[in-house]
Amino acid sequence: MDSNKPIKKNVMKKILIIICLFSTAVILFDSCSEDYLNRYPLDQISDATFWNSENDLKVYNNGLYDMCMDHFNNTTILWGNGENMWSGNNSYNLNNWNLDCMSDNLTSGNSRHEYMFEIRAGVHIVKSGGSWRGGEQWLRYQGFGLIRAINIGLANYSKAKVGQDIIDNYTAEARLFRGWHYADLCAKFGDANWIDKELSTDSEELTANRTPREEVMEKALADLEFACQKLPDSWNDGGAPGRINRWAALAITSRLCLFEGTWRKYHGGTDPNKWLQKAADAALELMQNSKYSLYSTGNTEHDYSASFQVLKTLAGNKEVLYWRKYELGVAVNNANVNGGEGPTKSMVEDYLCTDGLPITLSPLYKGDEIYENVFENRDPRLRQSVLHPADQAYYNFGRSTSYNYPRVNGMTGGVKSLSGYHFLKYYNAIDAGLGWGQHELPSIIIRLGEVYLIYAEAKAELGSLTQADLDISINKLRDRVGMIHMDMTNIPVDPRYANDGVSPLIVEIRRERRVELFAEGLRYLDLRRWKQGKKLIGPSLGMRWDDAARAKYDPLGEATVKTSLVNGVEYVDVYKGTNWGNPVFDESKHYLFPIDLYFLSLNPSISQNPGWD
């Protein structure tokens, strides 16, 4: 018999009471910041009177949306752009693109992102209670208030005096959130405590160890598949952004199944092909049967980045399956894209040349001795993601034409980039000029372009990809920017990735994903599921910064950047001399995050992840 059990149960009772009060407050008082949500008077609510009408179910689920948007206390599944008006270290740090700072894609000099730099460098540690810094709380093992709220709803929806189809709609919405959140927990921590009922203070689940990952994911899959079957194709709410519909659920399911399938394939697990096939099937159903399509006006020079640079609304954009809206006076964010973030040398060099070959093989590549040459004869998405000096006026970059680019730290005036490459993909000059907490740049949660990539990757991992598959997926993305098609009979073999342990075809599909989804917060997840942590070893380099570059761009000698040699050539070394200047990756532990010591102290039955003891 466990002698600690009474103590553990007393502690967990306190947690449950707190969760119960928190969940009730959120569900009954809060409302989402979207137009379709309504408040419900507390003095009119009880179990006996509440679960009656469709509006009751809608109001209850509105609270679930609120909780899914709460990074700090619940979950990251509806992650947005640094929303609300937090102060100090809690502001300006939770934007989709900043997540790429944990990877080999992007750098930042913002001190509020330091925990991301630590993860990038493999020097992050196990946290305990109050040691969490502002903004990094989303890495805690949490979200059980959300799970409790969902389970309460699932136990009561059937009481409503409405048709079964209406009950199924709201049940599906709640189960989507539960399956999605549990998949997110498994992606971060591996095993997770599966709870599918409302608990009492005496429930054994409160002192249980975590449920094995594969068991959790089977249950999560059942939730996701129910949502894909029972959610409506449209809620007829205007989609601005409205509620999540069946098509968005298919996209989410395809994303989560791809993660699980590739995780099991490369890390070891049961039946990875089942998950890969489900990813492909969900993606294909959406691609073939929905009314969604890639955003395109025929402008190959700007259409790729246009959806990321609009203000306030993405309503009517047929590529976007779900998004977050921000509007002054309703809900705003701190997502000031001023161009100071710095794409890495590795990222810039991964864009193909216009002949479809990597820079290591293409005769069209002009090298980086002259900055502007980096963009010549390259995939047009590069110039829509990273500023070409000639495009400064078009984008009103830096809201001034008084300065030339590129500009690096130490130089007077203008926008400085840590790497020398200026981040452009989300840049909107109007939004960049707004004050703190006034930004209205919307946030894309999931889009059709990602679904195309999921389909192609899943089929390739299954070994069943055909040219026809490429033509309805990746080649549509390439058509939007006027890029040559991927041809299965002519796949290049990039020597840089010869030791990745996968076929050249999968290398190129992964490259396509990196390029198309650059700065959408998925790269670190991708490297983890592919078991490619080795790509995080080595410094975050930037532009070539030799004597010629210094003479041309910094004639006054103001720059304070540090450099390192690559084949005898100097390049900006963004984090040189800092605590994260020499990244490591421990294969024995860094594929999973550690569990907070404070949480472990509350329930000693829960074991720490391997290597983090």
Q: According to the 3-state scheme, what is the secondary structure of 276-302?
A: HHHHHHHHHHHHHHCCCCCCCCCCCCC
Q: Is residue 365 part of a domain?
A: no
What is the tens place of the pLDDT at every residue in 15-31?
343 334 334 433 333 33
User: Whose structure tokens read 């989402």?
Assistant: 32
Q: What does the DSSP assignment read for 2-38?
A: -TTHHHHHHHHHHHHHHHHHHHHHHHHH---SSTT--
Phi-psi region of 509 (alpha: psi -120 to 50; beta: other; left: phi over 0): alpha
Q: Is residue 25 part of a domain?
A: yes
Residue type, position 248, single letter: A
Contact 161, 119 (CB under 8 A): no
- pLDDT band for position 7 (cuts 50, 70, 90): very low
Contact 539, 418 (CB under 8 A): no
Residue type, position 284, single letter: L
Domain interval for residue 178: 1-68+141-231
Distance between CA 37 and CA 331 in Å, rounded? 13
Q: Is residue 19 part of a domain?
A: yes
Neighbour count for residue 277 (Cβ, 10 Å): 18
Q: Determine the average pLDDT of the residues in 396-414.
A: 95
Contact 243, 237 (CB under 8 A): yes
Three-class secondary structure of residue 406 per DSSP: coil
- pLDDT band for position 73 (cuts 50, 70, 90): confident
Three-class secondary structure of residue 177 per DSSP: helix
- pLDDT band for position 185 (cuts 50, 70, 90): very high
Q: Determine the average pLDDT of the residues in 503-515.
A: 98
Q: Where are the alpha helices (DSSP H) in 492-585?
A: 504-516, 523-529, 547-553
Question: Quick one: angle between helices 474-481 and 504-516, nearest 10?
Answer: 50
What is the tens place of the pLDDT at every residue in 356-393?
999 999 999 999 999 999 999 999 999 999 999 999 99
Q: Is residue 124 part of a domain?
A: no
Contact 244, 173 (CB under 8 A): yes
- pLDDT band for position 328 (cuts 50, 70, 90): confident
Neighbour count for residue 217 (Cβ, 10 Å): 28
Query: Parallel, antiparallel, or unpaired for β 569-573 and 443-447?
Result: unpaired
What string of H, E and C letters represents the secondary structure of 311-344?
Answer: CCCCCCCCCEEEEECCECCCECECCCCCCCCEEC
User: Can you read off the two tokens belonging to residue 610?
Assistant: 């391997």
Contact 209, 271 (CB under 8 A): no
What is the tens place of the pLDDT at every residue in 532-579?
999 999 999 999 999 999 999 999 999 999 999 999 999 999 999 999
Distance between CA 179 and CA 262 in Å, rounded? 18
pLDDT for residue 599: 87
Distance between CA 107 and CA 308 in Å, rounded? 19
107 phi and psi, to 5 degrees? -125, 160
Domain at 179, CATH number: 1.25.40.890
Q: Is residue 173 part of a domain?
A: yes
Domain count, the chain: 1
Q: Where are the alpha helices (DSSP H) in 335-486?
A: 345-349, 380-383, 392-395, 429-432, 448-462, 467-471, 474-481
Nearest partner of 339 among 400, 425, 412, 401, judged by Cα:
425
Contact 541, 574 (CB under 8 A): yes
pLDDT for residue 6: 34
User: Whose structure tokens read 């553990």?
Assistant: 8
Query: Parallel, antiparallel, or unpaired for β 342-343 and 541-544?
Result: unpaired
Alpha carbons within 13 angstroms on the beta-carbon side of residue 228 total 22
Alpha carbons within 13 angstroms on the beta-carbon side of residue 194 total 18
In percent, the amount of the chain with pLDDT more than 90 equals 77
Q: Is residue 111 part of a domain?
A: no
Distance between CA 170 and CA 276 in Å, rounded? 28
**Which of the two residues, 146 and 341, has the higher pLDDT score?**
146
- pLDDT band for position 4 (cuts 50, 70, 90): very low
Contacts of 593 (CB under 8 A, 6+ apart): 139, 188, 189, 609
What is the tens place of the pLDDT at every residue in 57-71?
999 999 999 999 887
Contacts of 299 (CB under 8 A, 6+ apart): 306
**Which of the two residues, 81 and 378, has the higher pLDDT score?**
378
Return the DSSP state at 164. Answer: H
Q: Is residue 480 part of a domain?
A: no
Contact 62, 34 (CB under 8 A): no
Q: Does the pLDDT of residue 40 top 70, yes or no? A: no
- pLDDT band for position 93 (cuts 50, 70, 90): low
Nearest partner of 177 among 31, 53, 276, 75, judged by Cα:
75
Q: Is residue 306 part of a domain?
A: no
User: Whose structure tokens read 């975050």?
Assistant: 540
Nearest partner of 250 among 208, 276, 281, 275, judged by Cα:
281
Q: Does the pLDDT of residue 41 top 60, yes or no? A: no
Contact 322, 248 (CB under 8 A): yes
Strand partners, 572: 563
Nearest partner of 321 among 485, 141, 450, judged by Cα:
450
Farthest CA pair distance, the chain: 77
Dihedral angle computed from the Cα positions of residues 134, 140, 145 and 150, in that order, rounded to the nearest 10 degrees: 120
pTM above 0.85, yes or no: yes
- pLDDT band for position 528 (cuts 50, 70, 90): very high
Q: Determine the average pLDDT of the residues in 432-437.
A: 81
Over the chain, what is the mean pLDDT?
A: 90
Contact 602, 580 (CB under 8 A): no
User: Whose structure tokens read 């389970």?
Assistant: 151
Nearest partner of 427 among 456, 398, 402, judged by Cα:
398
Distance between CA 250 and CA 256 in Å, rounded? 10
Three-class secondary structure of residue 250 per DSSP: helix
User: Can you read off the two tokens belonging to residue 359?
Assistant: 């820079």
Return the CA Rg of the chain: 24
